A and B are shown apart, each in its own frame.
Chain A
C-alpha cells in the first residue's frame, strides 16, 4: 500500500476540498492533526473502498493525514492511538506500515492485540506486524482463531507460521474436539499446510 494509491482511491469523497485542505493543513501545522483526525469520518464517510480492498474511506483518510505530517510520525501515531476512539485506533494501526517509523510503534500493536476488539486485533496483524516478535505474533494468530477473526487478515501468514504455532493450533484443535466444538476452517487448513497432522504433540487423533 502507498499513500498515492490511497489518495487516488479517495477521489470520490463527497467533499474533496475538505480533504485537500486538511492534508495541506497537517503538512503546514502538525498540531492540527488531532481534531482533523477525529472528524475525518464525519466529513469523508465510513464506507468500504472498492479499491484497495479491505480499506474503508475513514481509514484511508486518516492514514493519509498521518503520512502528510512533515516529521514526528511515531509520536503523532502514538498520541492519536492513545486518544482515539476504536475507529481512530484502527486507522492508526493500518497506517503504521506507510510511515517512516521503523519499529518504534510496536507497543501499539501489543496494546491492540491485548484488547478483545476483534477489529483492532485484525488491524494489528497487517504488514507492520513484521516488527512484532515471534512469540507475540503466534499468540495474536491464535487469538484470531479463538475470536473468529479470519486468518486472511494476517499478513505473511504462511511465510511466518512455524512449528510452534502449529503445535499451539493443534492443541487448540484437540481441546475443541474434546468439547465437541468445531475449529474454524481456515485454521484447520493452516494446520494441514504446516503438516501438523503428524506432529507428535498434537492430539488430533483423539
Chain B
C-alpha cells in the first residue's frame, strides 16, 4: 500500500513517527503551514518556520525515504493578530519555491473580518502564482463556516478543481460534493473523522476527488491513521485500486496541479536509510 499523506504537520512529530510511517507505506507528505499551539508575536518567527518547511524538514523526511512538500500561508487563527498580518507580504517569496505545492492552510477559524481579508487575499495569491489552495474549515460553527468558505472560493474566481476543502465530516461533505472542489477528511483518534466513518463516506460518495489525511500535529493524533483507513477500506470490500486512488493518486493529482510535485525515483523505491546523524540518534 503506497500512501501520500496530503496534510500532516511533521514539524511536530518525532523521528519515531517517520520510521513508523515509512514502514507503513507512507512515501510522500505535504506539510501545510499552520499555527503552533503557542501564538506567535512577530513576523520573523514565521520566516524561521517557513524556512524550516522548505529546508530542514524536507531533509529530515528524506532520511527516512519520505518525500516532503509544503504549503505556505498565514493561518486563519493568527490572521487575527495585527502583529502577524505583515506575514502576507512575505508569502510571494515562498510561493516561488520548488517545495511549495499550494497556498495553505487558509480559510476560517472564528469568521472575523480579518480572516475574511486574509482568506480572500491568499486565494488571489494562489491564482497569481498558479498554485492550488488548501482550505481549512472551522471546528466551531462548522456547517456555516463551510458555506461561507465556499462563497469566498466562488467569489475569488479560482478554479474549484484547484481547491481542497479540508476537515470535512458527514454533514459538511454534502455542501462541498457538488462544487467541483476536492474533499479532505482528517482521520483522528477520536474527533474529526474515524476509519469506519470514512469508509461509509466513500461508500456513499465514491472515491473521486476524495482525500484522506492524518492531519497529525502536536495534539492527540496518529500519523498511521491513513494506513488504518486503507485497511478498513479493504476489509469493507474496496479494491486495492480504490485504496491506491484515495491514498496515492488523488493527492498526487491534486497537488500535481502545482507543476512542482517531485516524486522522482519514489514510485517504486525501497525505503533506504542513508547514513546521517538523525538516524544515528544525533551523536
Chain A interface (Cβ within 8 Å of chain B)? 34-35, 38-39, 41-42, 46, 83, 85-87, 89, 115-119, 146-148
Of B98, B275, B283, the residue contacting A87 (CB under 8 A) is B98
> Which residue from chain A places its CB closest to the CB of B93 in the assembled complex?
A83
* Pair A86/B96 contact, Cβ less than 8 Å: no
A-B contact count (CB 8 A): 49
> Which residue from chain A places its CB closest to the CB of B57 in the assembled complex?
A86
Which of chain A's residues have a CB closer than 8 A to the CB of B98?
Answer: 38-39, 41-42, 85, 87
Which of chain A's residues have a CB closer than 8 A to the CB of B259?
Answer: 42
A147 with B260, Cβ < 8 A, contacts A39-B96, A85-B55, A119-B59 known: no
Of B93, B99, B262, B277, the residue contacting A148 (CB under 8 A) is B277
C-alpha gap A148/B279 in the complex (Å): 11
C-alpha gap A49/B58 in the complex (Å): 23
C-alpha gap A6/B17 in the complex (Å): 41
Which of chain A's residues have a CB closer than 8 A to the CB of B97?
Answer: 38, 85
Q: With both chains docked as a complex, state the minimum distance between the C-beta of A42 and any C-beta of chain B, in angstroms.
A: 6
Q: With both chains docked as a complex, state the minimum distance between the C-beta of B264 and any C-beta of chain A, in angstroms.
A: 8
Which of chain A's residues have a CB closer than 8 A to the CB of B54?
Answer: 85-86
C-alpha gap A162/B278 in the complex (Å): 29
Which of chain B's residues have a CB closer than 8 A to the CB of A119?
Answer: 59
A35 with B96, Cβ < 8 A, contacts A89-B55, A117-B59, A146-B283 known: yes
Q: With both chains docked as a complex, state the minimum distance between the C-beta of B3 and any C-beta of chain A, in angstroms.
A: 24
Which of chain B's residues have a CB closer than 8 A to the CB of A118?
Answer: 276-277
* Pair B93/A34 contact, Cβ less than 8 Å: yes
A146 with B277, Cβ < 8 A, contacts A38-B96, A42-B259, A85-B97 known: yes
* Pair A117/B93 contact, Cβ less than 8 Å: no
Interface of A is mostly: helix
A-B contacts, 15 listed (Cβ < 8 Å): A34-B96, A38-B96, A42-B259, A85-B51, A85-B55, A85-B97, A116-B56, A116-B277, A117-B55, A118-B277, A119-B59, A148-B274, A148-B275, A148-B276, A148-B280
Of A39, A117, A147, the residue contacting B56 (CB under 8 A) is A117
Most chain B CB within 10 A, of A89, A115, A117, A119, is at A117
Chain B interface (Cβ within 8 Å of chain A)? 51, 54-56, 58-59, 93, 96-99, 259-260, 262, 264, 274-278, 280, 283
* Pair B260/A42 contact, Cβ less than 8 Å: yes
> Which residue from chain A places its CB closest to the CB of B97 in the assembled complex?
A85
Interface of B is mostly: loop
Most chain B CB within 10 A, of A35, A85, A87, A148, is at A85
C-alpha gap A117/B262 in the complex (Å): 20
Which of chain B's residues have a CB closer than 8 A to the CB of A46?
Answer: 262, 264
C-alpha gap A148/B51 in the complex (Å): 24
C-alpha gap A89/B276 in the complex (Å): 20
C-alpha gap A147/B93 in the complex (Å): 31
> Which residue from chain A places its CB closest to the CB of B280 in the assembled complex?
A148
Q: With both chains docked as a complex, state the minimum distance between the C-beta of B128 and any C-beta of chain A, in angstroms.
A: 13
Which of chain A's residues have a CB closer than 8 A to the CB of B274?
Answer: 148
> Which residue from chain A places its CB closest to the CB of B258 in the assembled complex?
A42
Q: With both chains docked as a complex, state the minimum distance between the C-beta of A171 and any C-beta of chain B, in angstroms.
A: 14
C-alpha gap A86/B97 in the complex (Å): 10
Q: With both chains docked as a complex, state the minimum distance between the C-beta of B261 and any C-beta of chain A, in angstroms.
A: 11
C-alpha gap A38/B55 in the complex (Å): 13
Which of chain B's residues have a CB closer than 8 A to the CB of A83?
Answer: 93
> Which residue from chain B places its CB closest to the CB of A150 in the assembled complex?
B275
C-alpha gap A120/B96 in the complex (Å): 21
C-alpha gap A148/B277 in the complex (Å): 7
Q: With both chains docked as a complex, state the minimum distance between the C-beta of A165 and any C-beta of chain B, in angstroms.
A: 18
Which of chain B's residues have a CB closer than 8 A to the CB of A147?
Answer: 276-277, 283
C-alpha gap A115/B52 in the complex (Å): 11
Which of chain B's residues have a CB closer than 8 A to the CB of A42?
Answer: 98, 259-260
Which of chain B's residues have a CB closer than 8 A to the CB of A116?
Answer: 56, 277-278
